[in-house]
Structure 1
Amino acid sequence: MPTERFTFPGHAKDHLAARLDLPEGPHLATALLAHCFTCGKDVIAARRIAARLTSHGIAVLRFDFTGLGHSSGEFENTSFSSNVDDLIAAAATLAARGMAPSLLIGHSLGGAAVLRAAHNIPSSKAVVTIGAPFDPAHVAHNFGDALEMIDRDGVGEVDLGGRTIRIGRDFLDDVKAETLAEDIATLDRALLVLHAPRDAIVGIENATEIFVAAKHPKSFVTLDDADHLITGAKDADYAADVIASWAGRYLDLKHPAPPIGAPEGVTRVSEVDPDGFLQDVNAGPKHHVLADEPESYGGTDRGLTPYQLLAAGLGACTSMTIRMYARRKKWPLEHVSVDVTHNRVHAQDAGVDGGPLDEFTRVITLRGELDDAQRKRLREIADKCPVHKSLEAGATIKTELTQEAEAAST
C-alpha cells in the first residue's frame, strides 16, 4: 500500500509523526486509528488493520501520540485529555486534506480516547474499540508500586509490557477523574466492540460495560485467546477482517464506475505479509477472498491457492452457463454442482504434441427430472462456458511494471 509520512501539530503544538496508508485503488473513505497506551503507530495490530482497510479502499491515518515513537514532546507531561486533543488535531489535519475521517478505531486506552473524541469529530460515522477500558482510570492498576512515587515526586517510572516509561501526576489525576458512561450513551454512531476474554491487561468486563452503555447500532465480537496487544498475526488479521467487513455497512463507500475496457472492474491482489504468501484479492469494489499456499510450500493455508482460484473460475462459469441455458429452455433442472481438479500431464497423454500441460477435470452433477437428451445437451453446453473457451484457446497476457516509492512530506 502506498504510504505518506508527515508531521502535524498536536495539542501542545509538538510535531506528531504520522503515517497515512493509502489504497492502491480508489479512495472511498478514511479511518483514524489510535494506538494502545504507550505503544506506537507501527505495532502489529495497527499495521495489519491498516493493510486490510486500504485493500477495501479506506485510507488509514495512524500516528504517535505526544512523547511517543517519533513524535516530539514529553509523554510524562501528557494526559488522557491531551491524547483526546491529539486525536481531534489529527482529524482536523485529515479534514484539511479533504479526507475527513468517517471511521475511528482505538486500541486499549486509544479505544477510550476515540469514544471521547468522536463527539468532536463530526465526520465520524462509526467507532471501533479493541481491548478498551470502560473508564480510563482502569489503566492505573498497571502502575503498581510506582503510584506512590508518582504521588510523592510528581513523576515515576512504570514498567508496561517490558517498556519503562515515565508517568506524570497530571496523567494519573486526569484518568482517575474521567468517566465515559455518558460519552458512550450519547455516542450516536455505530459501535463495534472487540475484546479478548483472556485479556490480562484490560478485563473482558470492560467490553460488557461499554456494550451495555451504548445504544444501537452496536456489535460485539470476541477475539478468543488473543493477548491485549494482539501480537499474534492470525489474531491481528482476524480483527482487521472483522473491522473491514463491519465498517462497510456503516460508511458511505461510493464505488467509482469500472475503467474503460474493464467492464468487470479491476481485480487487485496485494500481499498481506512479505514473509509468507498470503494475499488479499479484491475483485471490483465489493468482493474479497484470500489466496495462499499450503504450509508445506511455505504458506499459511488460509486461502485458496492460485490454481484453486483458477479451478473455481472454471467451475463457477460452467455452472452458471448450464443454469442460464436450462432456465431459458424451462427445463426441470433443480441443482448444479461442478467438481474441478487440476493436474499437470504429459502432452502425449492428452493426444497432443509438446511438453507438460495443464489438465482440468470437471465432474458435473445435474439434479432434476431431466431426460437423457436434456442431460446430453447440458453436457455440451458446459463446453460453451466463456472460461472454458478461454482456457482452451489460451490468452494474451500484457504486463506493465510500475514503481511506487513511499511519499514523504512535512
Structure 2
Amino acid sequence: MMSSSGASKQRFEISNKYGEKLVGVLHSTGSKNLVILCHGFHASKDDIQFINIISALTREGISALHFDFSGNGESEGELKFGDFRKEADDLLAMVLYFSEKNFKICAICGLSKGGNVVLFYASMHNDAPLIINVSGCFTLKRGLEGRLGKDFIQRIKKDGFIDVMDKAGKVDYRVNEASLMDYLATDMRAVCLAIDKKCRICTVHGSADTDVPLEDAYEFDKSISNHKLHIVEGADHCYLAHLEQLGSSVVDLIKSAQVLDAPAAPLT
C-alpha cells in the first residue's frame, strides 16, 4: 500500500520480550535511514502529530516507523500509568527487529510521555545517534492531583487503585498502586545524567504548553550535556495549530545532526 506521500506503507506485528504482540506501521521510501516515533500516554501510533511528522520525513526521502506500545492501540498488554522501562523495552524490540533488516536507526522521536520513554531508552541503550524529546515532562509529580484527585496517595493505598473518569463519567483508565509508586519514584534528572555524552539529544517544546510547562524543557536543557533546545512559538502540548511546524522542526533537527546516510531522493 502507498501512503499519500508516495512511500510504501506496511503494517506489521512483532513480539516484545514479554511475549505481547506489538503492532506498527512502516513507511518506506526505499531509504534504509529510519526514524522511529513513540506516542504518549493512553494514545496510539495514529495520533495526528505523527501523521504530519511522517509526511515531513517521507517527503525528504526518510523512512519512518510508528507503533503502539503494549497496552495501547492495537498492541497487546495492560495500559500502565508509568512503566517507562517496559515501554523502553518495547522500543528496543523495534530497534532490534529493524536493525536486523539492515535499517539504520538514525533518530528516535517521542511525543509527551513518549519523550520520557525515548530518554529512558537513551539512558539504557547507546545505539541511536539522535534522540528527539517532544514535550516530555521533567517534573513528573506536577499535575497529578488534577488528574487523580485530592489525597490520591491515601486513596490508592487504601483501595489499591484509582479509576480516572472521562468527561462522560465512564472509566477512562485505571491507575494501580505499583504503577503510581514507580512513576513517583522516577527521577528524570538522574535519567538525563545517565545518557552517554556522545548521544545527541534534542528537545522540542511549545511555548504555550500548559500541560507540560516550558520550564520543563529548560530543565532538560540544563541536565543533558549534549543537548539542543528548539521552541515552537505559540504551540500548545498537542501542536494542533502548529502541526506543520512540528513536522518541519523534527526534519530540520535530523538533517542538521548529520545522522543520515545518503537518503533516497525527496518524494514529490
Indicate if the aligned counterparts of 1:39 and 1:68 stay in contact, CA closer than 8 A: yes
- Normalised TM-score (structure 1): 0.57
User: Among the aligned pairs, what percent are the same residue?
Assistant: 22
Report the counterpart of residue 288 of structure 1 in structure 2.
Answer: none
Indicate if the aligned counterparts of 1:137 and 1:177 stay in contact, CA closer than 8 A: no
Measured after TM superposition, the shift of residue 244 of structure 1 is 0.5
Which digits, 9 at most, give the CA deviation of each residue in 1:134-162, with x for residues without a partner?
Answer: 14444634523283543332222224798
Report the CA distance shift for 1:69/1:149 in structure 2 as closer, same or farther (over 3 A): farther
Report the counterpart of residue 176 of structure 2 in structure 1.
Answer: 168
Structure 1 position 52 matched with structure 2 position 56? yes
Report the counterpart of residue 150 of structure 1 in structure 2.
Answer: 156
Measured after TM superposition, the shift of residue 27 of structure 1 is 0.5
Measured after TM superposition, the shift of residue 52 of structure 1 is 0.9
Structure 1 position 22 matched with structure 2 position 32? no
Structure 1 position 238 matched with structure 2 position 245? yes
- Alignment equivalent of 2:238, drawn from 229, 233, 237: 229
Measured after TM superposition, the shift of residue 185 of structure 1 is 3.0
Q: How does 1:71-150 map to 2 (within 5 A)?
A: 71-76=75-80, 79-138=83-142, 140-145=144-149, 147=152, 148-150=154-156
Indicate if the aligned counterparts of 2:129 and 2:259 stay in contact, CA closer than 8 A: no
Q: How does 1:59-70 map to 2 (within 5 A)?
A: 59-70=63-74
Report the counterpart of residue 4 of structure 2 in structure 1.
Answer: none
Measured after TM superposition, the shift of residue 22 of structure 1 is 1.5
- Paired AA for residue 161 in structure 2: V
**Total equivalences in the alignment:** 256
- Alignment equivalent of 1:43, drawn from 44, 47, 55: 47
Q: How does 1:304-323 map to 2 (within 5 A)?
A: none
RMSD over aligned CA atoms reads: 2.5
- Paired AA for residue 175 in structure 1: Y
Measured after TM superposition, the shift of residue 94 of structure 1 is 1.8
Distance 1:9 1:46 in 2: 22
Indicate if the aligned counterparts of 1:67 and 1:74 stay in contact, CA closer than 8 A: yes
- Normalised TM-score (structure 2): 0.85
Report the CA distance shift for 1:129/1:77 in structure 2 as closer, same or farther (over 3 A): closer
Indicate if the aligned counterparts of 1:91 and 1:121 stay in contact, CA closer than 8 A: no
- Greater C-alpha radius of gyration: 1
